[in-house]
Structure 1
Amino acid sequence: MPTVQQANDRNGIIVMNVLFTIIVITVVALRFYARHITRAGYGWDDWTALAALIFTLALNGIFLAATIDGAITGHSPVVDGWPVTIPLEIVAQKYKYAFQTTEKPVFGLIKVSILLLWKRLFGSSKRFRILCWVMIGITIAWTFAFFFTTVFQCGTRWPLNWSPIGIFLTKCIATLDVLTVFASTDIVSDLIIIAMPVPLIWRLHLPTKKKVALNSVFLIGLFTIGAGIARTYMYLVTSYDKENNPDFIADFTLCILWSEIEANVAMMVCCLPTLTPVIGKFAASLRTTPLGKWLPTATEKTHMTSEDVELSVASKLRRKQFSRLSDKETLWQEGTVATAGYSSTNELPRNNRTILARTDISTTFEARDSDSL
């Protein structure tokens, strides 16, 4: 196996961490704002995403502290092909234990949030609902299994968790194998979860372009899988090829770095499918600015999401000259006006998906003097 490229830009890593923190907070806030403006109500997928955000922020805090303390981007002295123990190695071991323990709930909660969202969007299919519940059960079991395996990797002899790497590898469980299995199953489960709604979308009665557009939203999750593959590669190279990669602290940096990237990208992907109302509202407001004249004009005024329909239309559909009826050349004009609206959310139970609509259509004949034309 080749020698991996080391990450040494401490300031760049700190900036990346701060940007990730700002972005994940923003996307989750926009997720809740989207639910508010569409009056869809908050679901378990939203609350699970919020819990995932809390753990992601904790993960980012651990990563930032490790970078500031020098554990990330640090290096181990190497003698005879083996890292020499220094105080920084013990610090790195402590941060590694805290990070790897915290990342398990992060990935688990994000996966469950996405599955609950799938169930909410595509729950009309009984088979799909059952599949979602099965995957939720598997994900919860997967999360607890690896969480407790990490917590008790050295039994209850807690100091061994941050002992020198040579002692840690001989006194604790085969953590390298556990990390490899964890990373591999993480990628497989992500592939299954992302692919789940694709067959349902292709069965919809929509133009092919719209089907491709919908699928592209879900396939953004491939970025998460890419980060997971990069992390797995780093695990394999740095763990099983110590001859070419003997610098423990530098290897620790690479593995933690890619875990950090994967967790934050997954947090963004978890919320992106819910942000359509916010994006639509922003695009509509942008067209009222001078920049709007450079934007394409929308051909459809109706804004729909997969869950919520908001209808507020008041338009004159037809207006034309009807006839001339007398010598005074009085013009009669026929017009049809239609208005429609949805019922107040107070009229129905919150969980009722029914939409009450009222449409009033009236035809008017208005006399106008020919001189006013």
Structure 2
Amino acid sequence: MNITAEQAARSHETRSDLMLGVSVALMAVGSLLVAGRLYCRRLIRSTGLDDISAVLALAFLIACGASIADMTRHGLGRHDWTLSLDQIVLYGRCFWLSVLFYTISLSFCKITFLLQYLRIMNVSRMRWVYIGSIVFLSIWSAITIVGICTLCIPLEAFWDPRIKGRCFKDQTLMWYINGIMHIVVDFAIIVMPLPIVWKLKLPLSQKLWLSGIFGLGFFTIAISILRLQWLTPEKDFTWWNVTAASWSLAELVSGIACSCLSTFKPLLKKVNGWVPTLRSGESTHILHGIATDDSDRIAVVELEDAPYGSRLQIPNSAHAFGTETSITASKGVYEAERKLRKSSKSSINKNEP
């Protein structure tokens, strides 16, 4: 292979170690986030399908990161004119695997959000919106995966130029369509619960806090938009792809972070004491759920004199989902409680001889 004097002068350059370090660091961050989520679920003795989906998102994140890390052994971070044909073939195969695992992990990140909505907010009208969104996202992801698996026929022609095959010509267009679709879906997922949150009879500060938790997804959207500029490959692909691969892993970790951080309140209680905790056996008024009637009217479900850690039993006539995160009752609840106690004391005093 003939190379220019400029290429010869740059042949020693490498970003492989940088890419390897970024991959390991982001996989570690993702693992810690999901481990924290599972630990918090264990503290409240409650797990659900959203937790399983988060674990699957992490599993395919690690698979994607491992594929990218393996690509550094075959030329990622080096200039393509320094690589042999065998190295390019091995690099191409790892690249295809990373794209496949990235797509699956990203889909599970979004499904985790939707399953979490089903878990903590049960408004009959929105319930079907969440379920429909999960079905749509699953179908779209399946179509994308089929497309990735049929980029070339036979598939080996995608990474081995020595194999003749028929390949999809507009692959870059396919990546752009998929990327834009995921941005649109992300935006829809973020705004879905906001109308319900703002209908809750809660102080403004708590509404803003809940909206902020859901709004963390805008950070993922920002990364996805930035990543779009790296979807058009350059000629020196193995050198250029370091930035694109880094943004892809960052996007996955951001999605996992946004879906996990909202579950960390029990951990804050236990470790840092940022939220007041209750010792076993004490009693309080704790809001554990949101119930709705057939008219989709949101109602506060309150459990009086409940020992810490007990579960709320919802009447079968109400559509309800229990939440693992208690929401502080509004001022009116405590006013009613004080009046009730004052009335009880007055009755006792009257009955005393």
Indicate the TM-score class for this superposition, using the shorter chain for normalisation. Answer: 0.7 to 0.9
Q: Is the 8 A contact 2:283 2:308 kept in 1?
A: no
Asked if the contact 1:71–1:253 (Cα under 8 Å) also holds between the matched residues in 2, the reply is no
Q: Which consecutive residues of structure 1, in runs of 5 or more, have no partner in the other structure?
A: 1-6, 79-83, 239-244, 288-297, 304-309, 316-338, 355-360, 365-373
1:311 is displaced (CA, Å) by: 7.5
Q: 2:93 & 2:159 partners in 1: Cα distance?
A: 5
What is the aligned partner in structure 2 of residue 204 from structure 1?
A: 200
Aligned residue number for residue 242 of structure 2: 253
Q: What corresponds to 1:22 in structure 2?
A: 28
Contact 1:302 1:311 in 2 (8 A): no
Q: Please report the RMSD computed on the Cα atoms of aligned residues, expressed in angstroms.
A: 3.6
> In structure 1, what is the Cα distance between the partners aligned to 2:101 and 2:50?
20
For these two proteins, the number of residue pairs brought into alignment is 294
User: How does 1:46-85 map onto structure 2 within 5 Å?
Assistant: 46-67=51-72, 69-77=73-81
Q: Contact between 1:76 and 1:86, CA under 8 Å: does it hold in 2?
A: no
In the superposition, relative to structure 1, how do residues 205 and 251 fare at CA in structure 2: closer, same or farther (>3 Å)? same
Per the alignment, residue 13 of structure 1 pairs with 19
Structure 2 vs 1, CA of residues 206 and 234 (structure 1 numbering), >3 Å: closer, same or farther? same
Name the TM-score, length of structure 1 as normaliser: 0.69
Q: What stretches of structure 2 of length at least 5 have no aligned partner?
A: 1-12, 285-304, 315-319, 324-340, 349-353
Residues 179-210 of structure 1 show CA distances to partners (whole Å, capped at 9, x for unaligned) of: 11111111111111111111211222222222
Residue in structure 2 matched with residue 98 of structure 1 by the alignment: 97
Please tell me whether Structure 1 or Structure 2 has the larger radius of gyration of its CA atoms.
1
From 147, 152, 155, the equivalent of 1:154 is 152
Partner Cα separation in structure 2 for residue 71 and residue 312 of structure 1: 61
CA distance in 1, matches of 2:78, 2:307: 62
- 1: CA distance, partners of 2:133 / 2:240: 33
- Identity of aligned pairs, percent? 22
Deviation of residue 164 (structure 1)?
4.1
**Residues of 1 paired with 2:198 and 2:80: CA distance?**
53
Task: Give the direction of change, closer, same or farther, for the CA distance of 1:131–1:282 in structure 2 (3 Å limit).
Answer: same
The structure 1 residue matched to 2:42, chosen from 26, 36, 39, is 36
**Structure 1 residues 218 and 344: alpha-carbon distance in aligned structure 2, compared to 1, 3 A threshold:** closer
Q: Verify the 8 A CA contact 1:115 1:193 in the aligned structure 2.
A: yes
CA contact (8 A) 1:311 1:340 kept: no
Q: Tell me: CA distance 1:27–1:148, structure 2 relative to 1, closer, same or farther (3 Å).
A: same
Match of 1:183 in 2: 179
Letter in 2 for 1:38: I
Q: Does 1:265 align with 2:265?
A: no
Match of 2:336 in 1: none
- How far did residue 177 of structure 1 move? 1.3
Q: How does 1:206-245 map to 2 (within 5 A)?
A: 206-236=202-232, 238=233, 245=234
